[in-house]
Structure 1
Amino acid sequence: MELRHLRCAVAVADALHFGRAARSLGIAQPPLSQQIRALEDELGVRLFERSSRRVALTSAGEAFVAEARGVLAGADRATRAARMAGRGDTGRLVVGLVGSAAHAVLPGLMRAFRARHPDVEVTLREMPTAAQAAALLAGDLDAGLLRPPLAGEASHRLDVHAFGDEPLVAVVPAGHRLAARPRIPVRELAREPFVMFPRAAGPGLYDQIAALCRRGGFVLSPAQEAVQMQTIVGMVATGLWISIVPSSVARTARPDVAFVPVAPHAVTAGPALAWRRDDPSPVVANLVKTARAL
């Protein structure tokens, strides 16, 4: 017994006429009659009473057609589910993100992706760049919004789509002597106590900030560490430290700190989307396609 036999039986039950049922199926009437006869022979019961004037379901036919409708509906659902999964329209996506990406690219990317693929379940996990790279390589993340450059094995096994560069800015307490400046020469930060994320959490960005400090004539030596950008900003607000951060961190305005451009002007790579180069997932492919379209 095949699905085509079930479709034939349901079509005849709906039409109660072999000719109309055959037309609805797009086949000739003789093959339809042969399919029904073969089905009845296999079942060992008559499904339809036929006469020159009418076609009627037998009690066995009523029972069979009721079950056949459920089977066909399930088959149709399975077909749709398979096609949607194959297109990446359903499934689950686990995405890592650095804190600053939440204020930069994440909202636009997720809105665009949700509009195109509303049935994909998205889970976000905040973690530093280095941890994201490790999780991507281990298969614990499907994609990550992190800050390049990547190092080691990650640089060879991960693909990256960059969203663009952004300036580095100083963040100082609102009452700080430099807070009202239109621009702060980096050399004037030489004697200030820094709060920074650990280099291991994001070596690329850390080294760029350290290089900027060297251009200002001093070596970056943080007095305090914090992993997340918003935590760093909160610690600056205490009045005990200052920091240098990507300008996207300033998108969440707060009255207790000031974000001030620095001189010399310096830029860093903004958040980028990273994914495994050999990942066959159509869901990931759709996320990458969405990112490239932004």
Structure 2
Amino acid sequence: MFEISQLRCFVAVAEELHFSRAAERLNMTQPPLSRQIRLLEHHVGARLLERNSRTVRLTAAGKAFFPEAARILRIAEEATFTARRAAKGEQGTLAIGFTSASGYSLLPEVVRRLRERAPGVSLNLKELVSTAQVEALNSGELDLGLMRPHTINGELESRPLLTEPLMLAVHADDADRWPLAPTLADLHGRPFVMYSPYEARPFYQMLSERFARAGVVPDVVEHIGQVHTMLALVRAGVGAALIAAGAANLKFDGIVMREMATEPVEMICTFRRDNENPVLRLFLREVLPTFHR
């Protein structure tokens, strides 16, 4: 079977119709160029070029072979380019899990910055609660998870993405009964829509710990796993709720948002240490640092 180098020699001669110019173009001398052409003709089983002391021309077989040879060279070059891009993480697929809260502001920004750096990357996006993301990361279904801080096993690694304020969501008719800069203490004994300890475990644990440290005991009326459902209950007058600022982009008429005078909450990205997906490595190396500038 012929080699790519032989095709490259033939195409150069066919385009130049001059051995000397073709050899110069390929940065080689004429004798090895002639040998490559003879080897190619041997593999093809037909004479491709006719030459004398003054001219070089394509035979009928050479004319038929030339466009196909040029096409094979283009395919080989494209394959090489594609492989190099894939090795750099500039081409391929990244499976990203995200919580509903991160889907309102963080996920679009992650996608935008990744596509700016590697527009050839395909994304597989899955909305999952944090616990389900951890399971999917462990099973290899996800490359990257966007979630709240949580307890992880030794095979997973987490890195901070950003922090955002906590927002108090209250019914508009009750807004005057709340301070402009509320604290956790303002929630003591008041109807409160809490996160589910199962579907939204990281946020549930974080708020439970903060309430315990502050000696605050809200009147928990519901445990909910999804932010949009919590806000629907706030709008229905069931109670107040605490959400991350990014989720405040989910607009509900009849709800007033107020920034809490308390420490912000963190969003992290989690991945398997042994995941060698080049796209993940590109994200960690070049996209993640842009969130900390």
Tell me, in whole angstroms, the C-alpha distance in 2 between the residues paired with 1:62 and 1:70. Answer: 13
Which 5+ residue runs of structure 2 have no aligned equivalent?
A: none
Whether 1:74 and 2:75 are equivalent positions in the alignment is yes
Moved more, 81-90 or 61-70: 61-70
Choose from 273, 277, 280 the match for 1:277: 273
Matched residues, number: 289
| Normalised TM-score (structure 1) | 0.89
> For 2:279, what is the secondary structure of its paired residue?
helix
**Residues 172 and 179, structure 1, Cα contact 8 Å, conserved in 2:** no
Listed one character per residue, the Cα deviations across residues 204-245 of structure 1 (whole Å, up to 9, x for unaligned) are: 321221133334545456322322212211221111122222
> For 1:293, what is the secondary structure of its paired residue?
helix
> How far apart are 1:112 and its partner, in Å?
1.5
Q: 1:36 to 1:188 in 2, by over 3 A?
A: closer
**Residues 12 and 18, structure 1, Cα contact 8 Å, conserved in 2:** yes
Structure 2 partner of 1:267: 264
Which 5+ residue runs of structure 1 have no aligned equivalent?
A: none
> How far apart are 1:104 and its partner, in Å?
4.0
Structure 2 partner of 1:132: 133
**Residues 147 and 202, structure 1, Cα contact 8 Å, conserved in 2:** no
**Residues 196 and 226, structure 1, Cα contact 8 Å, conserved in 2:** yes
| Normalised TM-score (structure 2) | 0.89
Choose from 195, 198, 201 the match for 2:196: 198
- How many percent identity over aligned positions? 34
**Residues 193 and 222, structure 1, Cα contact 8 Å, conserved in 2:** yes
Tell me, in whole angstroms, the C-alpha distance in 2 between the residues paired with 1:242 and 1:249. Answer: 15
Q: 1:166 to 1:220 in 2, by over 3 A?
A: same
Structure 1 partner of 2:114: 113
The code of the aligned residue for 1:250 comes to A
Whether 1:232 and 2:230 are equivalent positions in the alignment is yes
Q: 1:109 to 1:18 in 2, by over 3 A?
A: same
**Residues 168 and 261, structure 1, Cα contact 8 Å, conserved in 2:** yes
**Residues 210 and 220, structure 1, Cα contact 8 Å, conserved in 2:** no
Q: 1:20 to 1:188 in 2, by over 3 A?
A: closer
Q: How does 1:153-172 map to 2 (within 5 A)?
A: 154-172=152-170
Moved more, 69-78 or 137-146: 69-78
Moved more, 102-111 or 23-32: 102-111
Moved more, 219-228 or 197-206: 219-228
